[in-house]
Structure 1
Amino acid sequence: MTHTVFDNGVEADISTIPHRSCVPRADYELLAASMRALRDAVHVPNGHVVVSVHEGVVVLDGRTSFYFERAAAECAVRFLDGVRAVENHILVEPPAER
């Protein structure tokens, strides 16, 4: 909480919210949260993305059929508390033409 006095004389107590990547979180907690986020993401196909975490860096591996699924997987984990970075190694293999 920070006490601030503005130019017009108004005083206010302003609380600051740390950036999500600054929130300390153990890798195993971040891994569990990432797995839940991927499971709950509507546009991420179940069983196609594997996630791992090392020192706050979330690594995504696997294969999807469409680019939007790859992007959805990254979006699902990018803004979780404790995520320092996301490495997206998901390969996109479009379905064969019929």
Structure 2
Amino acid sequence: MLELRPNCESCDRDLPPHSGEARICTFECTFCIDCADSRFQSVCPNCEGDLVARPIRPDSKLHRFPASLRRVNKAHSACPSPAPRPRDGWGVAH
């Protein structure tokens, strides 16, 4: 099952399961639309695969098949280092 990661692994922007601004590759690396398009030209900096729109899991399925809470952050040469941010129990920054 597709792991819906809660953030952009480049800039740490929150990407909730219903976000239309999440982009993924076939290895499920997850980026926001800004990093994917302007920084990486829609090519994953990790695996060099295409970054495409992440499907939205219907709300009716999220209870049984929840989104991931695991945040991934990687330093990419084209990106500033993300600043640490406080989080609640659902991986959402305040």
TM-score w.r.t. length of structure 1: 0.25
Q: Which has the larger radius of gyration?
A: 1
Q: Which has the higher strand share?
A: 1
Q: Which has the higher contact order (CA 8 A, sep 6+)?
A: 2
Answer 1 or 2: which has greater helix percent. Answer: 1
Q: TM-score, normalised by structure 2?
A: 0.25
